[in-house]
Every structure is written in C-alpha cells, then in structure tokens.
Amino acid sequence: MPLIDREHRIVDGRRYTYACRSVDVVERRGFRVEIDIEHDLAFFRVEGIAFCVTNICPHKREAKMYDGFVADATVTCPFHAWRFDIRTGKNVSGQAGLCTFDVIEQEGKIWVSVPE
Ligand code: FES
C-alpha cells in the first residue's frame, strides 16, 4: 500500500493519525496499515474493540503479524508461531512482545497515536 499524507486530530491532548475505516478492522482477522515509513502496523478487533500492534514480529523481524492466526485475543505469527496477546502485545511464552499503540474510533474511522 503506498504511503499517503494522513489526517491528524488531537484528542485529550494527544495526537492521533488516521489509520483506516472502522469496517476494515473485523474480528479474527488482522488489517495492515503503513502509517509512515517507521510505523508498519497491524490492527485487530477483539470483542468489538480495536487494537493496534506493530506489524513486525520481534523474533525474526518479519512484517506479517497482520496475517497471523487470531484466536482467544491472541495472534500467532505465521512464520514460527510466536503468539501474542493482541490487547497488551505480551508474548504468551514470555519472550519479546509486540509494541502496542493507543487507538480511538470516531465517526466510523480508526485513529492511532504513534510517536512522532
Ligand atoms: S518471525 Fe514471527 S515467530 Fe519467527
């Protein structure tokens, strides 16, 4: 997906960047968004709530978390099966976890807060 100039908004003093439409993020499937050259992200929905983690697996740096198997609020990397809690980014086996990013949903859009 080509990088685009994205809209921003400030909510409670925090800057959020437009990521995608709410309908793009559904239960049991990841959705990849490259916010900018430094932020390749994977969005998931768990029990109706949208979450965002880095799309880069901490094991071998493969950019495929969005394509992992999703079950019980976890996503399993398709390469070597490291498994992470989507809500916290924690690795369920205690190894390195995924970075998480704050998400809000407003007016049918998903916004994410990433460091500038
Ligand atoms: S690259 Fe994800 S588990 Fe190895």
Q: Taking 70 as the threshold, does the pLDDT of residue 1 lie above it?
A: no
The amino acid sitting at 32 is R
What is the tens place of the pLDDT at every residue in 25-39? 999 999 999 999 999
Q: What is the DSSP annotation of 61-116? A: --B-GGGSEEETTEEE-TTT--EEETTT--BTTSS----EEEEEEETTEEEEE---
What is the tens place of the pLDDT at every residue in 53-67? 999 999 999 999 999
Q: Is 15 within a domain?
A: no
What is the tens place of the pLDDT at every residue in 98-110? 999 999 999 999 9
Q: Is 70 within a domain?
A: yes
Q: Is 80's C-beta closer than 6 angstroms to any atom of ligand 1?
A: yes
Q: Is 32 within a domain?
A: yes
Q: Taking 60 as the threshold, does the pLDDT of residue 68 lie above it?
A: yes
Nearest CA to ligand 1 atom 3: 80
Q: Is 77 within a domain?
A: yes
Q: What is the tally of structural domains in the chain?
A: 1
Q: Is 43 within a domain?
A: yes
- Print the domain residue range for 77: 26-113
CATH of the domain at 60: 2.102.10.10
Q: Which atom of ligand 1 is nearest to the CA of 57?
A: 2
Q: Is 21 within a domain?
A: no
Q: Is 40 within a domain?
A: yes
Q: Is 33 within a domain?
A: yes
